[in-house]
Amino acid sequence: MKPEKVFKRYDIRGRYPEELNEEFAERLGKSIGTFAKNNFSDKVVVCRDNKETSGPLKEKLIEGLLSTGVKVLDAGIGPTDYSAFSGMKRDAVAVQVTSSHMPLNFNGFKLIYPEGNGFVNEDLNTVKDLFRNQDFAAREGTVESIAETMKDHYRTELIETAEKYSDGDFDKKIVVDSLGGAATDFLAEALEELGAEVVDIAEEKEKHPYQDPPNPKPENLEELEDRVKQENADLGIATDMDADRVTLYNGEFITGSEIFCLMAEKVPGTTVASIDTSQAVEDVVGSNGHEIYYTRVGDPFVMDEALEVDASLAGEPNGHYSVLDFVPYNSGSLTGLILAGSDIDSGLERVPTYHVRRDSIQVEDKNEKMVLTSEAVEDEYEVLSMVDGVKAWIEGAEVLIRPSGSSPKIRVISEAEREDVAERGLEVALDILQKA
């Protein structure tokens, strides 16, 4: 087992069973149990998505945890925000068995603090060191099933929070597609309880999950798009495997930045966003008299800052959004519910218009390339942020140049109110990159 291959920036994931299997899960359980006892408590919540391979991985994870003497709180099957909610309510570290939106031949684990936010790099690295060195605590633990009571608690607060922040207008026809993932037993049911007429695509499928990859990108949602049109529905909502991402369709797909703007209107207050978020979100937050803080790209960094500044809302334009007074974890279900009960069309009319241009280049050493690029940008342009790469005003556009977290690439995003200015910003940034 090679932990360096599967311990990623924000979570643990790899191909099953080649890179990550039941033996790995048991050893990981020992690592997490030891870490939890050393740093938090002797309780650990365990949950999983409904992928077939997640069952045996969860069983072995629990075996490993028990061998360290922790009390395992088994939350059953559910989305990752439910796992985070359960850990928060029981003041325990939580572990979710999932590889989220990755292809179905992958699986993995998400680690969550007792506060409800995902592990940051430092603590994930500590777990990796424990895994590698195998210096585990040794004692006999116990298991308690909390699934029945905790799911009721989660559903109740999910619906109450949706009612609190939405307009309360659920008299609509809504098509839901969980892609056969972990939101299947939660989102459609909550919408019906709130008064919506629901067409649940997952109910019609014999096998779950049924989409590979279970990623709610528009190119994977042709069935949702077709059903919204066929049913003359008001809205389509899709979530990924563990329901931490959401996509909305109301005749056309609503962008992640637009969803973030809509949520910023519905959940006013201090907001935390990743640095690649559109200027439109800052405009909306500012128009309501509140501040926005930016972090590195990656939900653990966003949520860590959100807790630090006592934010009301946090998110990223990739479909991740969190309402902090529910749980400081991305909830596709809650986001979908809030916006389902709101006037999306009028909200979209108030979203500021910006034009965005994107590109990336392959590089041999992205870290060295970023140092040289940042220096070149600083010499010529006004720098706005260096929290993740460099963000600057370039030829009238707000341009972000940052290293990819998952590949040997440098990514460039140029945004401006005028299309030609956004295009020019991208051209100049790419020229700087090529010459650096």
Residues annotated as part of the active site: 100
Residue type, 221: L
Of 146, 151, 157, 81, residue with least CA distance to 118: 81
- Rounded CA gap, 318 and 345, in Å? 21
- Rounded CA gap, 25 and 13, in Å? 11
Contacts with 313 (C-beta within 8 Å, 6 or more apart), sequence order: 263, 264, 267, 269, 270, 271, 272, 321, 322, 323, 324
Stated length of the chain: 436
**In this structure, are residues 265 and 286 in contact, taking their beta carbons and an 8 Å threshold?**
no
- Rounded CA gap, 78 and 80, in Å? 7
- Rounded CA gap, 230 and 249, in Å? 13
**In this structure, are residues 302 and 273 in contact, taking their beta carbons and an 8 Å threshold?**
yes
* Residue written as token pair 């605590």: 137
Contacts with 315 (C-beta within 8 Å, 6 or more apart), sequence order: 260, 263, 271, 272, 273, 274, 277, 302, 321, 322, 330
- Rounded CA gap, 107 and 21, in Å? 9
